[in-house]
Amino acid sequence: MTQAPLKGIRILDLTNVLAGPFCCHQLAHMGADVIKVETPGTGDLARQLGADPVRNADLMGVSFLAQNPGKRSITLNLKSTSGKRILRELVQQADALVENFRPGVMTRLGLGYDKLSQENSRLVYCAISGFGQDGPLSKLPAYDQIVQGMSGVMSITGDTDTAPYRVGYPMADTIGGMTAAFAVAAALANKAQDRGTFIDVSMLEAVIATMGWVVSNHLIAGQAPTPNGNDNFTASPSGTFRTADGVMNIAANKQEQFEVLCEIIGNPALVQDPRFADRKDRLANRPALTAELEKAFATGPTLDWVEKLTAQGVPAGPVWSVPEALAHPQLADRGLLQTHRIGPEDLQLVGIGAKLDGMAPKVDSPPPALGAHTNDILTELGYDNAQISDLKKEGAI
């Protein structure tokens, strides 16, 4: 671990699938000792998810691999008396616990914050759910697609012909997890507070919080959000434009950028056209301006136009596929992709997209097999081999 600001911090990860595991993924890369508490026999559902059926059958699905490097895995039956006791013992030595059960589940198990805080008065307890721990929707299960639809995101994604449209990856889960990681880290940093913290993360609210401009335009300016496809609703020309061999993005949001753009395409007269004279006019006449620009862009390939535009200070870029983005030299030396030995193979997994003092945070172990560290963790708690054997016989681990 080259950068470990959370070294010495222990996190109990009682989460499944994505939002919670993504939260603890961030914390593990920052140096925390993350103990993943899983159900015996099956573990995190993500162990069975992903595009490789063989890995799914081995409970090491690609979806699980993506969010769980650097963690240790212990299996506990939280419905058993011994399983509950072991969790309480783990809590006594932990700094934080993260769970994403439906609200009320942990309380029914006798393991809610009110009980666990009696084991550790400084415990940071983070509960991630679809809609929060209270309110009329609180008991609904948290599914990314449902949250995307109810947050308003889908209503403004796509264009007038295709909206509502789902964002192409589980963004509600991911935003919920990132919000939780930030909240946990902030609570851990509050060392002056000699008591624990209960964190209630609503995926719905976390997603809406990222829609600041759209929400504020509605709340303050009375502008109803609309689906604008690839067009930036604040400026024109700013969006996706067809070229001779595909499409490219342009973000000429400033007047001087628009003027330079017109020079580059060989049509400086557009600057004097009253339809395009200023930002407001260009927004009102976006289709006509796009048609004029695409006439020019049709004469050359994307990469040539991108080179010409960026050389003169006009923001532009190609529209890459995921494989194209990952293969680009920009990512080669940044440390985003990290190699882990998993079984007989070296596999690449994604880090967290940040550097600390010039170094990308890394974890020093691959995603764990189900229960791989059960014996080690129980030994740390003081259990001997005979006791561990008894726990296995009774189905507690």
HSE-up (13 A, CA, CB side) for residue 228 = 17
Q: Which candidate, 46, 41, 66, places its Cα nearest to that of 56? A: 46
Q: Are residues 286 and 375 in the same domain?
A: no
Mean pLDDT per block of 10 residues along the chain (397 residues) reads: 82 97 98 97 97 96 97 97 98 97 96 97 97 95 95 95 95 98 95 86 98 94 91 91 96 94 95 93 95 96 97 96 93 91 93 92 95 97 96 96
Domain assignment present for residue 229? The answer is: no
Q: Are residues 279 and 355 in the same domain?
A: no
pLDDT at 192: 67
Kindly state the tokens that stand for 172.
């509600």
Buried b (16+ CB within 10 A) or exposed e, 315-331: ebebeeeeeeeeeeeee
pLDDT at 1: 43
Q: Are residues 278 and 134 in the same domain?
A: no
- Per the rule left: phi > 0, alpha: psi between -120 and 50, beta: everything else, 371 is left
Task: Say which of 173, 357, 364, 390 is annotated catalytic.
Answer: 173
pLDDT at 319: 95
pLDDT at 289: 96
pTM for this predicted structure = 0.92
Q: Are residues 18 and 122 in the same domain?
A: yes
Q: What is the number of structural domains in the chain?
A: 2
Domain assignment present for residue 222? The answer is: no
Domain assignment present for residue 2? The answer is: no
pLDDT at 3: 65
Q: Are residues 296 and 344 in the same domain?
A: no
Q: Which of 286, 318, 350 is the C-terminal boundary of a domain?
A: 318
pLDDT at 113: 97
Q: Are residues 266 and 384 in the same domain?
A: no
Q: Identify residue 383 by its one-letter amino acid code.
A: Y
Query: Within its chain, how far is the Cα of 2 from the centroid?
Result: 23
Q: Is 173 a catalytic residue?
A: yes
Domain assignment present for residue 193? The answer is: yes
Domain assignment present for residue 220? The answer is: no
CATH of the domain at 184: 3.40.50.10540
Domain limits at 246? 238-318
Q: Which of 318, 344, 364 is the C-terminal boundary of a domain?
A: 318
pLDDT tens-digit readout, 306-332: 999 999 999 999 999 999 999 999 988
